[in-house]
Structure 1
Amino acid sequence: MTQPLFLDDAYVRDANAVVIAHTPEGGVVLDKSIFYATGGGQPGDSGTISWDGQRLSIATCVKVKDSDAGHTALVPAEPAPLPAIGTHVVQALDWERRHSHMRVHTALHLLSVVIPLPVSGGSISAGKGRLDFDMPEAPDDKEDLERSLNALIELDYVVSEGWIDDEELLANPHLVKTMAVQPPIGSGQVRLVRIGDDTRQIDLQPCGGTHVARTSEIGRVRLGKIEKKGKRNRRVYLHLDD
């Protein structure tokens, strides 16, 4: 499989790799990647790969279809010659965009803490995101929710990761907040993202995305409009303030 370096360290901005395949669509498959592949509501990373004085702009990263090996492919921003299989390349992220995704993603986990209702959907982009909740009625005080969310952010909780095996997850269904998307099982282990520590843990849920190391890194956020998207569904928008 393509080794996902971002799972070990989401702050790695560049790394060496070797091209191991091309996809029929013109994507580049590396043996290891710092690029997050589109999934779980988080968009794929963009950036560049460089080799032998050449440089290729990458628009996004996607999972390779029908790949049992778990490969991901870098999608060029425009048609261009690809590095040959076996070529050593240097990959570099569009760090500002990735870091914005990390801040928004962690903020959305905290939003699911201040709105403790089942999540029916979500989406992340640079500077903003949203969650859909099983919420028949709109909240009474959006400003109070925003204050509570920013208060959690300012407490500077540590964000860390761990792993749980499939059997443990099935025995603890309360860990899964999302109704529409279930965490992938079958590989033996599922990644958990934890906010807080042994003294005070405020959130723990399965997640394969990238996050900041501490909640204070998110900065201030504001809640946007809350839309009715069905009889029992409310969509809550979140924006980074900077």
Structure 2
Amino acid sequence: MTRLLYREDAYLRDADARVIAHTPEGGIVLDATVFYPTCGGQPGDSGTLEWDGLRMPIATTLRSHDNQIALVPAEPQPLPSVGTYVVQSLDWDRRHRHMRVHTALHLLSAVVPFDVSGMSISATHGRLDFAMPDSPEDRAEIEATLNAYVMEDAQVSDIWMSAEELGDIHGLIKSLTVKPLRGAGPVRLVRIGDAAAPIDLQPCEGTHVARTGEIGQLRLGKIEKKGRMSRRIHIHLDN
């Protein structure tokens, strides 16, 4: 199993590792990785691998068919052999922007109190699809509340509980499409704000900033009708 360094420290940019496998599609599996794989609307990380004076650009990171984390080379070239020690380095600016947008979407889900049916993250903006019949009329208020939470510079932290415990807490699971599996081990929850009265608390495997102040100024984008009971709300980083 690959050690998930990105889960232990989302700010870790570089790390030594050893190649433990190749996927049939040409991906590289490491024994420990700072690269986050595409999941839950967050894109897979890009960056580089270096070994023995060689350098390989990594275009993205995916989960393979057998649930391994595979680094995907940006162009065809010989892969480092199994057993090779490498240095992995993230495209940090891109990853940090994903972290900022992802945490901002958690704030959006707290401001708009409806179940979430989809999400997408990029380095400049993100969106959530809400199970709601009508578009919100208070655009200015939503944007102002989001930026108030940013200015609050609230702490973002992790807590863990079993899927059984999680299922007993009404309203904690906001996603209509992704549900934690019972019996699959502890579930990671991302908490924004104080434990006694959090701004947001929900299961999430993605990477996040440590404090909401890191997100920076947010701008509310388009609000689109995506079906009879679905509205898509976009938010943008201002820089």
TM over 0.5: yes
**For the residues of structure 1 that align with 2:210 and 2:51, how far apart are their CA atoms?**
31
**For the residues of structure 2 that align with 1:180 and 1:198, how far apart are their CA atoms?**
26
CA contact (8 A) 1:156 1:215 kept: yes
**For the residues of structure 2 that align with 1:103 and 1:163, how far apart are their CA atoms?**
22
Partner of 1:75: 72
1:227 and 2:221 equivalent? no
Partner of 1:49: 49
TM-score (norm 2): 0.97
- Residue by residue over 1:33-60, the C-alpha shift from the partner in whole angstroms, topping out at 9 and shown as x without a partner, is 0000001110100000000000100001
**For the residues of structure 2 that align with 1:41 and 1:226, how far apart are their CA atoms?**
18
Cα shift at 1:185: 4.3
Cα shift at 1:169: 1.3
CA contact (8 A) 2:221 2:236 kept: yes
Cα shift at 1:127: 1.1
Partner of 1:31: 31
1:59 and 2:56 equivalent? no
Cα shift at 1:186: 3.6
**For the residues of structure 1 that align with 2:72 and 2:188, how far apart are their CA atoms?**
26
RMSD: 1.0
Partner of 1:207: 204
Partner of 2:123: 126
Partner of 1:88: 85
1:194 and 2:173 equivalent? no
TM-score (norm 1): 0.96
Partner of 2:237: 240
CA contact (8 A) 1:183 1:207 kept: no
CA contact (8 A) 2:164 2:182 kept: no
Alignment-mate amino acid for residue 60 of structure 1: T
- Give the length in aligned residue pairs: 239
Partner of 2:109: 112
User: Where in structure 2 are there 5+ consecutive unaligned residues?
Assistant: none
**For the residues of structure 1 that align with 2:115 and 2:25, how far apart are their CA atoms?**
37
- Residue by residue over 1:73-98, the C-alpha shift from the partner in whole angstroms, topping out at 9 and shown as x without a partner, is 00000111100000000000000000
Cα shift at 1:200: 3.3
